[in-house]
Chains A and B, each alone.
Chain A
Amino acid sequence: MKDDPEQLEHFLPLTPAVFSILLALAAGEKHGYAIMQEITRSSAGALRIGPGTLYRSIKQMLAAGLIKESGDRPDPALDDERRRYYRLSGLGRRVLAAEAERLARLVSQAQAHGLLRPANRPSIRGAQ
């Protein structure tokens, strides 16, 4: 399904918490604590969100249709069956991509103004 680009723009900019949660769910469905761990891991501990911010964001993203609660439950022997799992919706994935593009444009502008040197880009260096 294609979205009106203007409609996607309505969601932007995302807060760091919402962006990070969507990013954490991009790899697959997760429960709240797994999302929290993924955010801490991927930001190398620079971004830590508390349970309040996590579930308040989840509530708003559910209402906006960016994420969905997953109906699938893991084997109770492997995980706590009371845990609720969340996954990205199609809209959520498109909004996440739009935000990533917006941030990439900002990074390009910062580079054009000489604010970012190659040494400040560990992810790019690491990818080479």
Chain B
Amino acid sequence: MNRPALPHNRLLRLSDALYGALLHAYPRAFRREFGAQMAQTLRADCRRVQAEQGLPGILGLWVLVVCDLAATALQEHFSQEVQMSRSTFVRVAGAAALLGGALFALSFATHPQGLARAIVPASVASLIIGILGLHARLWGREGRLGGWGFVLVGLGLALGLIGMGGSALGILQPNPVALIINTGEHAGLVFIGAGLLLWGLVTLRERALGRWSILPLLMGVLSLSGIVFLVPVAFRALEKSAMPEVFGLSWMLLGLALLTSRANPASRPTQVAAA
């Protein structure tokens, strides 16, 4: 009497074995976490479909399963790649901000001459990479406020890079537009401050840098002091004060924060929407 049931059982065993093998299409971490549950779920569904519809039902179910597996395995690989490359980039950017801040502080502390002056544009270039790291950390959570922050900070750093690069390489000295470029460079500090202020609010709201989340807001306030460039005497006094070193130090701290803090997984709504 049990004989007719044997092919069905064999079919279920075959389905089980095939799905177990196909689960290797998923990334290892995902498979370890959910593979057993997925196999158990399919097994239960196969039993139900077999009882209700027999072999045609099982075949129909397997068409759905294969399409589902192909699509979700690809999506899972892709999302892990993106997540991994983004977190790697955030760490690289953290190192760049650390280096950029140190070079910036060093350049103001030592007033390098000759070729050594290249550390000035090099420091700003590193800070730009650092700010891209903060952008990557806030990815998908910035909203309109963060979007404006990114534009302002980017503009400020670009102006700073042009001004400091030109000044360090000595190409501005005989140049009639030197005054315009220098003014732009100084205004750049204010743009950076305004942008970081907006980003600071987003970072705090999202707790994106853990216990360091207050840092961008403080850096914004610090950078906004650059508004005194409108009064040349006051700006020169600011440049001679400890403010540039403090500015560099704050970027070093941001670099450390990017290197050591972890992304808050609870704040990744875009991934759910994309599921």
Query: A interface vs B, CB < 8 Å?
Result: 6, 10-15, 17-18, 32-33, 36, 48-61, 63-66, 80, 82-84
Shortest CB-to-CB span from A24 to chain B, Å, is 13
Counting CB contacts under 8 A, is B73 at the interface? yes
Shortest CB-to-CB span from A6 to chain B, Å, is 8
Band of interface residues on B: 35 or more
Task: Check A83 against B275 for contact (C-beta < 8 Å).
Answer: no
Known contacts A51-B41, A59-B34, A10 near B73 by CB under 8 Å:
no
23 A-B pairs with C-beta separation under 8 A: A10-B269, A13-B273, A14-B272, A14-B273, A32-B41, A33-B44, A51-B68, A51-B69, A52-B68, A53-B275, A54-B41, A55-B38, A57-B272, A57-B275, A60-B272, A61-B275, A63-B266, A64-B272, A65-B266, A80-B40, A82-B40, A83-B37, A84-B37
Interface hits, B71-87 → A, CB 8 Å: 71-73, 75-76
The answer for the CA separation of A63 and B34 in the assembled complex, in Å, is: 14
Q: Which A residues lie within 8 Å of B273 (CB)?
A: 11-15, 18
Interface residues as binary, B247-275 with A (CB distance below 8 Å gives 1, 0 otherwise): 00000000000000000011111111111
Task: Check A11 against B272 for contact (C-beta < 8 Å).
Answer: yes
Q: Which A residues lie within 8 Å of B67 (CB)?
A: 50
Task: Check B72 against A56 for contact (C-beta < 8 Å).
Answer: yes
Pick from A10, A50, A55, A58 the residue with the most CB of B within 10 Å. A50
Q: Which B residues lie within 8 Å of A48 (CB)?
A: 64
Which residue of A is nearest B67, CB measured?
Answer: A50
Pick from A51, A55, A63 the residue with the most CB of B within 10 Å. A51
Which residue of B is nearest A22, CB measured?
Answer: B272
Shortest CB-to-CB span from A48 to chain B, Å, is 6
Known: A32-B38, A33-B45. 5 other contacts (CB 8 A): A15-B274, A15-B275, A58-B34, A63-B266, A64-B271
Task: Check A52 against B69 for contact (C-beta < 8 Å).
Answer: yes
Instruction: List the 8 closest A-B pairs by CB distance, nearest first.
Output: A50-B68, A52-B72, A51-B38, A55-B34, A11-B269, A10-B269, A65-B266, A52-B68
The answer for the CA separation of A61 and B269 in the assembled complex, in Å, is: 9
For the residues of B in contact with A, the DSSP-based class is helix
Q: Which A residues lie within 8 Å of B139 (CB)?
A: none
Q: Which B residues lie within 8 Å of A83 (CB)?
A: 37, 40
Counting CB contacts under 8 A, is B135 at the interface? no
Q: Which B residues lie within 8 Å of A54 (CB)?
A: 38, 41
Task: Check B38 against A60 for contact (C-beta < 8 Å).
Answer: no
Interface hits, B49-76 → A, CB 8 Å: 64-65, 67-69, 71-73, 75-76
Q: Which B residues lie within 8 Å of A14 (CB)?
A: 272-273
Shortest CB-to-CB span from A56 to chain B, Å, is 5
Shortest CB-to-CB span from B5 to chain A, Å, is 21
Q: Which B residues lie within 8 Å of A17 (CB)?
A: 275
Counting CB contacts under 8 A, is B186 at the interface? no
Please tell me which one of the listed residues A10, A56, A58, A82 contacts residue B36 in the complex, with CB atoms under 8 A apart.
A82
Which residue of A is nearest B71, CB measured?
Answer: A52
The answer for the CA separation of A58 and B26 in the assembled complex, in Å, is: 15
Pick from A18, A32, A66 the residue with the most CB of B within 10 Å. A32
Interface residues as binary, B216-250 with A (CB distance below 8 Å gives 1, 0 otherwise): 00000000000000000000000000000000000
Pick from A12, A36, A53, A83 the residue with the most CB of B within 10 Å. A53
Known contacts A15-B275, A50-B65, A32 near B37 by CB under 8 Å:
yes
Shortest CB-to-CB span from A54 to chain B, Å, is 7
Interface hits, B9-38 → A, CB 8 Å: 26, 30, 33-34, 36-38
Task: Check B141 against A10 for contact (C-beta < 8 Å).
Answer: yes
Which residue of A is nearest B34, CB measured?
Answer: A55
Task: Check A60 against B72 for contact (C-beta < 8 Å).
Answer: no
Known contacts A11-B273, A12-B273, A51-B38, A63 near B265 by CB under 8 Å:
yes
